């Protein structure tokens, strides 16, 4: 039995509820009546193109979803999706390259919304080999998906020494991404099952209730490696106000050493 495609009302309801915004709050933000919001969401009224764009902007809907909603309402899509290799994105590629190089020797990589690794600096290539030596046997041009790397039997999560602490945060991040990229969800749930199997009967959510006596300012992930235990934390960069679907999906993960011993190992080994 074939599942019916989502309608405009389904798209708008799902987008609003994912942001935990009431119809009243959304109406006040847009300067329309709650009744009109209710009528559009129930399919009893059709929004104008201008209202629909403002609606999606207030919900901070992904650009690809905005195009879908516009087409569901009978309007032409607004946002283009370029390939990263297109000439129009040459300044973007240069900026990304500079950002990655500036972060060396600490690891940094560019990923899309599906967790495909598009670019890596020297530090990231070293880190991948240190955590997953089997990757050295892969062809140099083989695409890497970070979610697949975590699911691999010898993947990076196997080396995590504080999995109980970081697993809930990893899953929360991935499930948030899956709300925008639904095709991620089956692999995310496979990873959740893998974590549960490794941690035994203790519920994954219990880690959120375990507040250490002295909470660190950022969540640190610790790995057992041939160099001893290495500890890292991450931050992410995204493009401000992107107007291209591809750019909106990109993020740069910057990895930092969480202690001096890890920093020394990275500085001594990244070439």
Digit-coded pLDDT (tens) for 122-137: 999 999 999 999 887 8
> pLDDT-based confidence at 86, cuts 50/70/90?
confident
120 and 194 in a single domain? The answer is yes
156 and 45 in a single domain? The answer is no
Residue 77 maps to a domain = no
Residue 158 maps to a domain = yes
Digit-coded pLDDT (tens) for 56-83: 999 988 898 899 999 999 999 999 888 8
Digit-coded pLDDT (tens) for 217-248: 778 999 999 999 999 999 999 988 888 988 98
32 and 116 in a single domain? The answer is no
In this predicted structure, the answer to whether residue 205 has a pLDDT above a threshold of 80 is no
Dihedral sign (CA 10, 13, 173, 189): negative
Q: What is the model's pLDDT at position 180? A: 76
In this predicted structure, the answer to whether residue 269 has a pLDDT above a threshold of 90 is yes
Whether pTM > 0.85 for this model: the answer is no
> Cα–Cα distance between 271 and 51 in angstroms, integer?
53
Which residues on neighbouring strands pair with residue 225, listed in sequence order?
228
Residue 82 maps to a domain = no
Percent of the chain scored above 70 by pLDDT? 92
| Arithmetic mean of pLDDT, 4-17 | 84
Residues 6+ apart with CB under 8 A from 133: none
> pLDDT-based confidence at 210, cuts 50/70/90?
very low
The domain total for the chain is 2
In this predicted structure, the answer to whether residue 267 has a pLDDT above a threshold of 60 is yes
Q: For residue 265, how many other CB atoms are within 10 A of its CB? A: 19
Q: Are the C-beta atoms of 230 and 270 separated by less than 8 Å? A: no
Residue 221: which domain range? 88-269
Least confident of 49-53, 142-146, 162-166, 200-204: 200-204
43 and 123 in a single domain? The answer is no
Residue 79 maps to a domain = no
> pLDDT-based confidence at 206, cuts 50/70/90?
very low
Q: What is the model's pLDDT at position 216? A: 59
Burial (CB < 10 A; 0-12, 13-18, 19+), residue 13, is: middle
């Amino acid at each position: 039995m074939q599942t019916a495609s989502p309608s405009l009302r389904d798209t708008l309801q799902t987008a609003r509820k994912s942001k935990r915004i009431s119809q009243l709050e959304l109406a006040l933000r847009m300067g329309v009546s709650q009744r009109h919001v209710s009528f559009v969401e129930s399919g009893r009224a059709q929004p104008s193109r201008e209202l629909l764009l403002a609606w999606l902007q207030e919900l901070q809907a992904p650009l690809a979803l905005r195009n879908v909603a516009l087409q569901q309402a009978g309007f032409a899509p607004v946002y283009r999706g370029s390939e990263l290799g297109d000439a129009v994105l040459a300044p973007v590629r240069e900026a990304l390259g500079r950002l990655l190089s500036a972060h060396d020797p600490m690891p940094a990589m560019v990923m899309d919304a599906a967790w495909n690794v598009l670019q890596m600096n020297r530090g990231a290539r070293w880190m991948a080999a240190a955590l997953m030596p089997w990757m050295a046997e892969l062809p140099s041009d083989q695409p890497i998906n970070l979610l697949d790397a975590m699911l691999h039997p010898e993947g990076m999560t196997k080396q995590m020494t504080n999995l109980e602490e970081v697993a809930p945060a990893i899953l929360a991040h991935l499930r948030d991404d899956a709300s925008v990229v639904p095709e991620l969800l089956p692999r995310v749930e496979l990873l959740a099952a893998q974590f549960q199997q490794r941690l035994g009967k203790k519920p994954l959510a219990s880690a959120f209730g375990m507040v250490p006596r002295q909470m660190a300012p950022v969540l640190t992930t610790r790995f057992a490696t041939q160099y001893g235990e290495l500890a890292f934390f991450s931050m992410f960069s995204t493009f401000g106000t992107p107007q291209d679907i591809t750019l909106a999906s990109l993020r740069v993960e910057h990895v930092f050493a969480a202690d001096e011993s890890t920093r020394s190992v990275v500085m001594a080994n990244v070439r």
